Amino acid sequence: MTAALFTALAAEFGPRFSTSQALRDQHGGGEAWHKAAPPDAVIHVHSTEEVASILRQCHAAGVPVIPFGAGTSLEGQLGALKGGISVDLTQMDRVLRVSAQDLDCTVQAGVTREALNTHLRDQGLFFPIDPGANATLGGMAATRASGTNAVRYGTMREVVLSLKVVLPDGQIITTASRARKSSAGYDLTRLFVGSEGTFGIITEVTLRLFGIPQAISAAVCHFDDIDAAVAAATMVTQFGIPVARMELMDRGLIRMVNAASGLSLPEADTLAFEFHGSDAGVAEQAEQVAEIVADCGGKGFEAATDADARNRLWKARHNAWYAVVGTRIGAKGWSSDVCVPVSELAGAVRVARDLLADCPIPAAILGHVGDGNFHVVFALDVTDPAEIAAVKAINAGLVAHAIAVGGTCTGEHGVGTGKIGYLADEYDPAALQLMAALKHAVDPKGIMNPGKILA
Amino acid sequence: MTAALFTALAAEFGPRFSTSQALRDQHGGGEAWHKAAPPDAVIHVHSTEEVASILRQCHAAGVPVIPFGAGTSLEGQLGALKGGISVDLTQMDRVLRVSAQDLDCTVQAGVTREALNTHLRDQGLFFPIDPGANATLGGMAATRASGTNAVRYGTMREVVLSLKVVLPDGQIITTASRARKSSAGYDLTRLFVGSEGTFGIITEVTLRLFGIPQAISAAVCHFDDIDAAVAAATMVTQFGIPVARMELMDRGLIRMVNAASGLSLPEADTLAFEFHGSDAGVAEQAEQVAEIVADCGGKGFEAATDADARNRLWKARHNAWYAVVGTRIGAKGWSSDVCVPVSELAGAVRVARDLLADCPIPAAILGHVGDGNFHVVFALDVTDPAEIAAVKAINAGLVAHAIAVGGTCTGEHGVGTGKIGYLADEYDPAALQLMAALKHAVDPKGIMNPGKILA
């Protein structure tokens, strides 16, 4: 069956169908420590109809399909655990439509967030969701990604208006109209956002956009200890100050970021802010935050509107993952991803510090603290089982505490294979059974990205 | 089977189980024109466990169950089309938890939006979602409701953090943690938001809250014609001015509202605004809007911070439905509910005016124009088939145009029975099949609110 399928697909896609070992290896894993599991073949697609053709044939043959974007996922979402075909969407990279009037756009799934923003810049618009990596918008929708701007602009859950999706049997659907809001039946858009390729393949994404603010300023300030930094961040959130970004970086990370990005930030536990609004609004926000920061013992707060300095700062922040992983030759990254109610953030970060106290593996704490979401990023020697076990234990401790205080095991990285075990701690058994029933309803043959999200 | 079930439920719930005709009639219909279909019995529940007990028994017996909140739905969501039991949640009216630190709360499903805001007021918090009626929060979640503040604060889709739900077989689940964001598996929360009681019964709702803004001001201005008013509203949206409310009322509605609420607004096509923020921010927004309004020929714009006048204005706006329906003795209301991309709003309102040109039935146009959502509300003589046919034709014309320009047949009222026919115009056949597959997966026996959303 598979041989006939591969012959047919090879004929249909020519050189865009490949079984080369290098390509398969590259498509079998993400950016993190999880062991890669190469697919049997890779196809670079150019259209929704091509995806539909592949799925029709794979559905008939019962062959697994794994959608592939930028390959930057962090929880083992890309491994071909049961073999099958990796459908690479990176060549579907056209921005199909931008409406400045409606503040929305439609892009093919392979457009990256940076490419979209480059495309938008001269129209005075931007797209705010920004995971560290330059991910594709299809992948970001599939992972329910967020990033540094989520505290102000939301996550992929909020900004996706509609999706074009190829269902497991090859049928093509549009999940919703372009209207800003709708009560027209079940929320198919949110069904696919965060489904990590297990329900079908997203081929087009319709997104909300935002006007580039009239004024933007940034500020960095440092603290004697991380508790004081978290306290300041929590207070900013609770006062409802509409910061666009509020990021925590511990002193270890600052050292690594300085080294990796050629910056010279003071090596201290740090909060970085960005303010969006009118000239007056931005000044007002900065003033309010300055006062809170000072009350919490923060130092060196200074709002700066210089775009170059600001861009360097955020570029360094986006590259934090690479800065940590780069501290150790041959290391792989591992990131925890808990998210807790804001009132529990200080406690959760203390738990992280306690768990890290005797950890010899290079690690840094950073986070989107306005959302209660933070990461511990490790640079891991994956050839050392003791290191893997140590990080696993720390991760488990972080997750157990987060769930105990009303939080989640993953704020933005998704489940993949890495978090499957924790879902049983986070959800009622009946809720997991419901998820399994949904999976069975949408993909009864189980061909879509098998072994992810649910065991 | 049913007789035994009723005997058991009567024993279990005592006087809270009722088959009185008056109670059944009251529970078989909503506020609009749709013909009521009384259930066979009504049960007033006090706890999630009681709901679970009812569903376990009804599931075993194959008896339909219809959840009931304030009874204010507008698309025939409440009719017991196949008989069965109406589960009235209005006595589950406790606010269970408020966290000012986390800006969230958990309420029982029967708490109304006004009761919640009364409860919150002395903590400096408020809950923004405000359909015209004083609906219950369970009902609002089930309908994916919104209202006048959605342009700034989102809809029930955005502000529900988590739900407690009793599944059709009586199992109880919590759909998500309290974390602001999560990528932990399928989005069960958004599965139930907007499912109109067809997937289970929502018994508790965890909601985002917001701090009462430091400053609030309101403004009303009037225009020579409705096109100019819509043009001004569209421009305000496209400039990204973060208005909290921006409501359109046509001159006919102003006349009815003045009469019903004792106001003396000038009888002209009107935009009403509310601005939230700091003192400076509110003043700045009002200034920017004033300029746009003046450019579009608007008159009489004046921002006012007087809370009493503001409350009278918004109370009158919330009662618009009753003002229209009250113009005609014995009339029933019918509201259209299209929502279109903002760039299409002016065209859609022109279509509405053309369709209304020769309509002898009292009608008014009003809308949440920042979202592209507007209503035509009719005061209908339901004993006259010609009137029903005339309004049906106008509604169909509005929906056809909205869908043709990328909009939806319902922005906030839901599908119920009233919009089922239009879903086939709005969605691909495969998308509707997918919705049906979801329904079958969650409620294989089809006992939950049968005949709603899907045919």
Q: How near does any CA of chain B get to the CA of A36, in Å?
A: 21
To the nearest whole percent, how much of chain A has pLDDT over 70? 100
Q: What is the pLDDT of residues B229-282, one digit of tens each?
A: 999 999 998 888 999 999 999 999 999 999 998 889 999 999 999 999 999 899
Strand order in the sheet with A65-68: A17-18, A41-44, A85-88, A65-68
Q: Is B211 close to A240, i.e. CB distance below 8 A?
A: yes
Look up residue B103 and give its two tokens.
Answer: 């800006």
- Across chain A, mean pLDDT equals 95
- Give whole-number Cα distances, B411 to A201, B228, B307, B419, in Å: 27, 23, 29, 11
Q: Is A284 close to B281, i.e. CB distance below 8 A?
A: yes
Q: Is B414 close to A183, i.e. CB distance below 8 A?
A: yes
Is B189:B161 a contact under the CB 8 Å cutoff? yes
Please indicate, yes or no, if residue B182 is contained in any of the structural domains.
yes
Report whether pLDDT(A411) > 80: yes
Residues A342, A391 within the same domain: yes
Q: What is the pLDDT of residues A102-111, one digit of tens each?
A: 999 999 999 9
Name the CA radius of gyration of chain A, rounded.
22
pLDDT value at position A304?
82
Q: What is the Cα–Cα distance from B450 to B386, expressed in whole angstroms?
A: 29
DSSP state of B35: P
Q: What is the pLDDT of residues B400-448, one digit of tens each?
A: 999 999 999 999 999 999 999 999 999 999 999 999 999 999 999 999 9
The residue of A181, A282, A335, A401 whose CB has the most chain B CBs within 10 angstroms, and thus the best one to mutate to test that interface, is: A181
Q: What is the Cα–Cα distance from A67 to A89, expressed in whole angstroms?
A: 7
Is A164:B160 a contact under the CB 8 Å cutoff? no
Is B286:B349 a contact under the CB 8 Å cutoff? no
Task: Identify the CATH number of the domain in which residue A296 sits.
Answer: 3.30.70.3450
**Which of A403, A405, A378, A402 shows the shortest CA–CA distance to A392?**
A378
For A145, the closest chain B residue by CA position comes to B183
Q: What residue type is B374 in one-letter code?
A: F
Which H or E element spans position B322?
helix B320-325
Report whether pLDDT(B1) > 70: no
Residues A223, A205 within the same domain: no
Please indicate, yes or no, if residue A429 is contained in any of the structural domains.
no
CB nearest to B178's CB, from A234, A341, A440? A341
Q: How near does any CA of chain B get to the CA of A154, in Å?
A: 9
Q: Is B183 close to A194, i.e. CB distance below 8 A?
A: yes
Q: Is A434 close to B188, i.e. CB distance below 8 A?
A: yes
CB nearest to A414's CB, from B183, B373, B428? B183
Residues A100, A207 within the same domain: yes
Strands B17-18 and B125-126: unpaired
Q: Is A179 close to B339, i.e. CB distance below 8 A?
A: yes
Q: Is B182 close to A411, i.e. CB distance below 8 A?
A: yes
**Which of B289, B341, B274, B30 shows the shortest CA–CA distance to B128?**
B274
Q: What is the pLDDT of residues A342-383, one digit of tens each?
A: 999 999 999 999 999 989 999 999 999 999 999 999 999 999
Please indicate, yes or no, if residue B432 is contained in any of the structural domains.
no
Report whether pLDDT(A16) > 70: yes
Compute the average pLDDT of residues B130-149.
96
pLDDT value at position A309?
86
DSSP string of B152-196, one letter each residue: HH--HHHHEEEEEEE-TTS-EEE---S-S---SSS-HHHHHTT-T
Please indicate, yes or no, if residue B446 is contained in any of the structural domains.
no
Q: Is A84 left (phi over 0), alpha (psi -120 to 50) or beta?
A: left
Residues B203, B240 within the same domain: no
Q: What is the Cα–Cα distance from A36 to A58, expressed in whole angstroms?
A: 22
Residues A74, A167 within the same domain: no
Which H or E element spans position B304?
strand B299-304
pLDDT value at position B349?
95
Residues A313, A333 within the same domain: no
With contacts defined as CB-CB under 8 Å, which chain A residues touch B434? 167, 173, 188, 442
Is B439:A441 a contact under the CB 8 Å cutoff? no
Q: Is any Cβ of chain A less than 8 angstroms from the Cβ of B284?
A: yes
Strands B201-208 and B17-18: unpaired
Q: Is A155 close to B181, i.e. CB distance below 8 A?
A: yes
Query: A412: burial class by Cβ within 10 Å (0-12, 13-18, 19+)?
Result: buried
Neighbouring CB atoms inside 10 A of A29's CB total 21
Compute the average pLDDT of residues A266-285.
94
Q: What residue type is A20 in one-letter code?
A: S
Number of domains in chain A: 4
Q: Which of residues A211, A228, A253 is at a domain's end?
A: A211
CB nearest to B188's CB, from A158, A171, A431? A431
What does the CA dihedral B333, B337, B342, B347 come to, rounded to 10 degrees? Answer: -70
Compute the average pLDDT of residues A75-88.
97
Q: What is the Cα–Cα distance from B371 to B377, expressed in whole angstroms?
A: 18
For B444, the closest chain A residue by CA position comes to A437
Residues B328, B316 within the same domain: no
To the nearest whole percent, how much of chain B has pLDDT over 90? 91
Is A103:B343 a contact under the CB 8 Å cutoff? no
Q: Which residues of A266-277 are buried (b: 16+ CB within 10 A; e: fewer)?
A: eebbbbbbbbbb
Q: Which of residues A88, A110, A142 is at a domain's end?
A: A88
> Which residue in the block uniquely carries the two structure tokens 């979402």?
A77
Sign of the C-alpha dihedral, residues A133, A135, A141, A142? negative
User: What is the ipTM score, two decimals?
Assistant: 0.97
Strands A299-304 and A215-223: antiparallel
Which H or E element spans position B271?
strand B269-277
DSSP string of B72-104, one letter each residue: --SSSTT--BTB-EEEE-TT---EEEEETTTTE
- Using H for helix, E for strand and C for coil, what is the string for chain A? CHHHHHHHHHHHHHHHEECCHHHHHHHCCCCECCCCCCCCEEEECCCHHHHHHHHHHHHHHCCCEEEECCCCCCCCCCCCECECEEEECCCCCCEEEEECCCCEEEEECCCEHHHHHHHHHHHCEECCCCCCCCCEHHHHHHHCCCCCCHHHHCCHHHHEEEEEEECCCCCEEECCCCCCCCCCCCCHHHHHCCCCCCCCEEEEEEEECEECCCEEEEEEEEECCHHHHHHHHHHHHHCCCCCCEEEEECHHHHHHHHHHHCCCCCCCEEEEEEEEECHHHHHHHHHHHHHHHHHCCCEEEEEECCHHHHHHHHHHHHCHHHHHHCCCCCCEEEECCCECCHHHHHHHHHHHHHHHCCCCCCEEEEEECCCCEEEEEEEECCCCHHHHHHHHHHHHHHHHHHHHCCCECCCCCCCCCCCHHHHHHHCCHHHHHHHHHHHHHHCCCCCECCCCCCC
Q: What separation, in Å, do the N-terminal and C-terminal C-alpha atoms of chain A show?
A: 26
Please indicate, yes or no, if residue B353 is contained in any of the structural domains.
yes
With contacts defined as CB-CB under 8 Å, which chain A residues touch B337? 183
DSSP state of B395: H
pLDDT value at position A1?
62
CB nearest to A183's CB, from B144, B340, B427? B144
Residue range of the domain that includes B156:
95-211
Please indicate, yes or no, if residue A435 is contained in any of the structural domains.
no
With contacts defined as CB-CB under 8 Å, which chain B residues touch A238? 100-101, 103
Report whether pLDDT(A2) > 90: no
Neighbouring CB atoms inside 10 A of A393's CB total 12
Task: Identify the CATH number of the domain in which residue B30 sits.
Answer: 3.30.43.10
With contacts defined as CB-CB under 8 Å, which chain A residues touch B186? 191, 194-195, 435, 438-439, 453
Q: Is any Cβ of chain A less than 8 angstroms from the Cβ of B406?
A: yes
Give the CA count within 13 Å in the CB-facing half-sphere of B144: 26
The residue of B77, B180, B189 whose CB has the most chain A CBs within 10 angstroms, and thus the best one to mutate to test that interface, is: B180
Residues B198, B268 within the same domain: no
Q: What is the Cα–Cα distance from B344 to A269, expressed in whole angstroms?
A: 49
Compute the average pLDDT of residues B15-40.
94
Neighbouring CB atoms inside 10 A of B302's CB total 11
- Give whole-number Cα distances, B96 to A404, B109, B246, in Å: 19, 11, 32
The residue of B186, B216, B374 whose CB has the most chain A CBs within 10 angstroms, and thus the best one to mutate to test that interface, is: B186
CB nearest to B428's CB, from A154, A173, A431? A173
With contacts defined as CB-CB under 8 Å, which chain B residues touch A194? 183, 185-187
> Which residue in the block uniquely carries the two structure tokens 């005592």?
B14
Q: Is A415 close to B157, i.e. CB distance below 8 A?
A: no
Residues B200, B219 within the same domain: no
Q: How near does any CA of chain B get to the CA of A65, in Å?
A: 19
Please indicate, yes or no, if residue B141 is contained in any of the structural domains.
yes
Q: Is any Cβ of chain A less than 8 angstroms from the Cβ of B134?
A: no
Neighbouring CB atoms inside 10 A of A97's CB total 13
Is B324:B377 a contact under the CB 8 Å cutoff? yes
Residues A199, A222 within the same domain: no
Q: What residue type is A64 in one-letter code?
A: P
Compute the average pLDDT of residues A242-263.
93
Residues A36, A134 within the same domain: no
**Which of B186, B141, B360, B337 shows the shortest CA–CA distance to A438?**
B186
Compute the average pLDDT of residues A21-43.
94
Residues 6+ apart with CB under 8 A from A351: A397, A398, A401
Residues A279, A300 within the same domain: yes
The backbone torsions φ and ψ at residue B239, rounded to the nearest 5 degrees and listed phi first, read -80, -5
**Which of A24, A35, A61, A38 shows the shortest CA–CA distance to A332?**
A35
Look up residue A292 and give its two tokens.
Answer: 């809170």
Q: Which of residues A71, A88, A105 is at a domain's end?
A: A88
Q: What residue type is A75 in one-letter code?
A: E
Strands A41-44 and A85-88: parallel
Neighbouring CB atoms inside 10 A of B415's CB total 27
pLDDT value at position A402?
98
To the nearest whole percent, how much of chain A has pLDDT over 90? 91
Please indicate, yes or no, if residue B199 is contained in any of the structural domains.
yes
Compute the average pLDDT of residues B126-154.
96
Q: What is the Cα–Cα distance from A29 to A68, expressed in whole angstroms?
A: 10
Task: Identify the CATH number of the domain in which residue B388 sits.
Answer: 3.30.70.2740
Is A372:A248 a contact under the CB 8 Å cutoff? no
Give the three-class secondary structure for B362: coil
A 219-238 → B contacts, CB under 8 A: 234, 237-238
The residue of B181, B291, B368, B433 whose CB has the most chain A CBs within 10 angstroms, and thus the best one to mutate to test that interface, is: B181
